[in-house]
Amino acid sequence: MPHCCGRSFTSNGIRNHLDNSAYHSNEIECRWCYARWPTHDGKLRQEHEEKEHWLACDSCTYIFRTEELLQEHKEEEHPPNYCYGCKRSFQSLNNLNM
């Protein structure tokens, strides 16, 4: 259950509280959860979203919002048993090492 201002809220209740409270009117919020920061702290929001909600490819610097997008990227850009020298894929890692 979300908490704010020392109180607990339902999902709809927290949305109403955040939208209608004068205290929260000058804040920016995470695009994926209810976290909020002062409007001048856009960098904090970006760091939060990247750490908490985005998935990083372990082979390059790309980040993705969903597991499906990450897997699609890996299959297209980093296929298993792929030789970047001859630009071919192999059935097994043993064949790649030849």
Q: Are 72 and 60 in contact (CB under 8 A)?
A: no
Residue 72 CA, distance from chain mean position: 15
Distance CA 56, CA 67 (A): 10
pLDDT on residue 69: 92
Global pTM?
0.44
The mean pLDDT value for 44-73 works out to 85
Q: Are 14 and 34 in contact (CB under 8 A)?
A: yes
Residue-wise pLDDT for 18-28, tens only, equals 676 656 666 77
pLDDT-based confidence at residue 98 (cuts at 50, 70, 90): low
Residue-wise pLDDT for 8-49, tens only, equals 878 777 777 767 665 666 677 787 787 877 776 677 878 887
pLDDT on residue 55: 86
Q: Give the torsion through C-alpha atoms of 39, 21, 33, 41, to 10 deg.
A: 10
